[in-house]
Amino acid sequence: MRFCSQNREMTLAEFLDMQTEKVKANRRITPLCEPEDFIVQAESFAAERVGQELARKVSEALRLSAIGTADHHGGIYCAQTFQSDLLFGQILKKLGGGGGGGTKLGKVIPILSCGQVRMNSSTYQRGISIFTNRDNIHNLPIFPLTSKLQLAFSASKIDHELISRFRHHYVDLSEAGRLEKALDEILRTAYETAYAQNSVRFEDQVTRIGTALSSGLFSPSSDAPVIIYLEIESLLTPLLLRELSSRDTLTSKLLFDERFNKYFVTEVLDDEAEPLSSVLFKMVDDKGQYFRVDLTSENTLCGKDLEGNKITIPMTPQTVIDLIEQRRLVPGLFLTTLLTVFERGMTCMNGVFASMYTPRWQKHLVHMLEAEGMKQEADVIRAYDTSGYVCGPVFAVCKGDGYITPAGPVEFWMGKPDFSTVEKLMNETRLWDAQLMGLTIMYDDLVRYNEREDGWYRAITEGSKNSFKENVIINV
């Protein structure tokens, strides 16, 4: 926020130019591992879900050496992160690849979404979200309340029973307005198809849903992109297992060489009390509900499940590999960043929180490697600019009676703007205004319940000084 405040007149186009230059600078560094195995794995992963032609475009985009990530399971449920996904597409375009118009199938924007969030995450809220109220966020959940503690990584697919329940609560076609008609069409087009229902888990279903939604978000004449959401934990599992099976990889050394145990156990994330050990893995129970496990000085992963039972796991290669293969142990954000950024040199355009964590992880990683005599690895990792950030600014809005709200996929579906219009907004909107509007999603996370102000939404709207008058995608 300080950067945005100090650069109030900077446009999003100028801001994205800065992010693009970071990618170009990082590409000049020889990585510890060539990223081709990751790119080939991503193409195979995407092909299983959306077909070979789109998968090939995923690999073409990834060869530009940038990856877009978010703090949730994909922008198809959240206005803020959906718009950030489109902004990441502009970075790909500036790098000479996807994000703009293209062939009949469009250029592809691959997004590595995060499955290790609970279903009640503020930017997820158990399913579809739409913004229709001035003083609140109107969530339309598709998953039941009983799943709120479950990780998206572990969720079963959205089946016909869940869709029927959603229709009952939110889609009354007998008195259908604009919203109800759009929701009904989205369900029929993206959720109820055999294409989506043939999925095994929600993890691969959301890739198919997002791809189907992309086809209906813009006017038919638009040469618009297709957004491909790939869950990063499932995507990277084969690479992680391969590295854990060898004693020579950096990942294996960090986890199983006892020289590094003391750093993970004792070093903390700057001013936070959280040790580095807390970002290695997450654990799920039989219901897919998350509980925390930390690395201990005894070289075990230790925690308590939701019933209070103590869980102790030996930190040995075979034990860890077995639990990962069983989808009980979920690779944490540090490990996914290690595989993609620190080892393979990809520039990660992070979400708002990860953009703060990644430079901290980088500092600690360089310190422990240097302390243990691994100077070459430390020098390479130190050289990367890890400050990439794109998830947060909002450039397209809906207009109500005296207020504006971020426009998400449902609203885009209702308005079907031309992609060239959206691209114009992405280039010309001021970064400061876009950041203020993005805070509407974060309000519940940043402000305690008893400190929230009446009319907070209007205050944020007025903070933009009405510079969004040209940014209205739809009137709600």
What does the pLDDT look like over 341-400, one tens digit per residue?
A: 999 999 998 776 677 888 989 999 999 999 999 999 999 999 999 988 888 889 998 887
pLDDT band of 73, cuts 50, 70, 90: low
Q: Is residue 83, in this structure, part of any structural domain at all?
A: yes
Q: Is residue 226, in this structure, part of any structural domain at all?
A: yes
Asked which of 182-196, 396-410, 422-436 is least confident by mean pLDDT, the reply is 396-410
Q: Is residue 151, in this structure, part of any structural domain at all?
A: yes
Could you give phi then psi for residue 471, rounded to 5 degrees?
-100, 10
Domain span at residue 101?
2-233+390-475
Residue 402 clears pLDDT 90, i.e. is over it: no
Q: Is residue 326, in this structure, part of any structural domain at all?
A: no
Q: Is residue 259, in this structure, part of any structural domain at all?
A: no
Q: Is residue 17, in this structure, part of any structural domain at all?
A: yes
Asked which of 101-110, 211-220, 226-235, 273-282 is least confident by mean pLDDT, the reply is 101-110
Contact 441, 123 (CB under 8 A): yes
Which positions ≥6 away from 150 have C-beta within 8 Å? 118, 119, 287, 288, 289, 290
Residue 186 clears pLDDT 50, i.e. is over it: yes
Q: Is 465 exposed, middle or buried (0-12, 13-18, 19+ CB in 10 A)?
A: exposed
* pLDDT for residue 319: 97
* pLDDT for residue 269: 63
Measured CA to CA, the distance from residue 262 to residue 345 in angstroms comes to 26
Residue 375 has a CB neighbour count (10 Å cut-off) of 10
Residue 67 clears pLDDT 90, i.e. is over it: yes
Residue 159 clears pLDDT 80, i.e. is over it: yes
Rounded to an integer, the average pLDDT of 463-473 is: 73
Q: Is residue 245, in this structure, part of any structural domain at all?
A: no
For the chain, percent of residues with pLDDT exceeding 70? 88
User: What pLDDT digit, counting tens, does each position of 197-233 carry?
Assistant: 999 999 989 999 999 998 899 998 778 999 999 999 9
What total of structural domains would you count in the chain?
1
* pLDDT for residue 71: 58
Measured CA to CA, the distance from residue 408 to residue 431 in angstroms comes to 19
Q: Is residue 220, in this structure, part of any structural domain at all?
A: yes
